[in-house]
Amino acid sequence: MRRNLIIAAAGGIAVIVLMGVGAYAYFFSGLRTSPSSLGLSASPSASAAAVSSSLAGTWTVTTGSLAGYRVQELFAGETSKHLAVARTSSVSGGLTVTGDANGYQVSSIKLSADLTSLHSVDQVVGRNVTQRDGVVSRQLSVQQFPTATFIASAASVPGPITTSQVDVTVAGKLTIHGVTKDVTATAKAQVIGGKIEIAGTMTINMTDYGVSPPQVPFTTVDPTATIEFDVYLTRS
C-alpha cells in the first residue's frame, strides 16, 4: 500500500513538473509575434492615383477593408508585455465628398465593424490565442451589441490627395457595447486603383464603454486599447 502511494505521489509530481514546463513555454518563452499596425498600402504614382478631376460624390466601403484592436497583455512573471491583436474584414459604411482639387470636405462619415467576426491574429508559442476571442466576445456582449460604429459629421481633406498621401484628423463619436463617446481618429488617406484608402487609429479606455478588461488566466490586460482601421471605398 505504501509503495503504491509513493508511486502515485511520484506520478503526481511528474505531472506537475510537466505542467510547469508547459506553463514556462506557454508564458515565458518569449516566442510571440504581433502583426504591424494597419496602414496605407504602397503610395501610388500620380498617374495611378488620379481617378478623376474631382473626388466629389458618394463613396462606399468595399472589400479589402479591415478593422480591429490592439491591446497590451502582461503574462504572469513576465516584465515585457505582449501585444494582442484582433481584426475583422466585415467592415461597412461610407462617406460623401464635396469640393475640388484645391480641398475637399467630407461629410456623413460612418464606419461599422462586425465584432462577432473579430479574430486574433497575433501568435504565442504554446498558446491557442483564439481562446481569447471567446473571452473578448463575452466582455463586449456581442450577442446584444454586435457592431462598433464610428460616426463623424465632417472633416477637411487637403487637395493633393489625388497625387499623394495626406494626413487627416477626424473628430466623431464611437459606439461600442451600447455606449457612445467622443473620440478623435488620426488617419492618412490616398487615392489608389480607383479607390479611396483611409488608414488610421483611435485610442480608447475600454472601461469608458462599460467593458472590463478581459479576465484571462495568468494574464493582466491593459484597459487602454487602440482601435485601428484600413478601409477602401469605391464611388457609389
Q: What is the pLDDT of residue 45?
A: 55
3-state secondary structure of 35: coil
Cα separation values, 134 from 6, 78, 110, 115, Å? 41, 24, 27, 11
Question: How is domain 33-235 classified at the architecture level of CATH?
Answer: Beta Barrel (2.40)
> Of the given ranges (18-22, 78-82, 167-171, 207-211), which has the lowest mean pLDDT?
18-22
Per-residue pLDDT tens over the stretch 140-197:
999 999 999 999 999 999 877 877 899 999 999 999 999 999 999 999 999 998 899 9
CA distance 154 to 108: 7
Instruction: Check if the beta carbon of residue 66 is closer than 8 Å to that of residue 229.
Output: yes
Higher-pLDDT residue of 69, 33: 69
Q: What integer best gives the mean pLDDT of the chain?
A: 84
Confirm whether pTM is higher than 0.85: no
Rounded to an integer, what distance in angstroms lies between the CA atom of residue 181 and that of residue 78? 33
How confident is the model at residue 76, as a pLDDT? 82
Q: What is the structure's pLDDT at 44?
A: 59
- Please give the single-letter amino acid code of residue 58: T
Q: How confident is the model at residue 43 (pLDDT cuts 50, 70, 90)?
A: low
159: its cell numbers: 487637395
